[in-house]
Amino acid sequence: MPQVRFLILIFSSSFVGILLLAHVFVSWKAVSAAHELRSLEVLIKEGQESDAVWKQVALRTYQLSQQDEALKEVLKREQINITSKASSTASSASGNAAPGQ
């Protein structure tokens, strides 16, 4: 009888050890996935900010090309076409221009 109890104790201890290792592995994978998710969120945010900045550059370039004939000629010669989707007033400076080629 003591040998059976000893075997049950060994198998139970081994099972608990395997469960502990599985828990450590799953936790490590979860933390790794959380870090990857956070880095992707940062990348998406930077992309959105970059897109907004490029829209502001395009709008400002469009506004300046309407006032400066030399700039308009340079843009035409380089085949850079910038059009405004809305009126180019100061209130629409949030990105109503789209660059195009």
> What range defines the domain where residue 96 resides?
2-100
Looking at the structure of the chain, the number of domains it has is 1
Residues of the chain falling short of pLDDT 50: 87-101
Q: Indicate left, alpha or beta for 52 from its phi (over 0: left) and psi (-120 to 50: alpha).
A: alpha
Pairwise CA distance, residues 76 & 81, whole Å: 7
For the segment 69-95, what is each residue's pLDDT rounded down to a tens digit? 888 888 888 888 877 665 443 333 444
Kindly give, in sequence order, each residue whose CB lies less than 8 Å from that of residue 85, ignoring residues fewer than 6 positions away. 96, 97, 98
pTM given for the model: 0.48
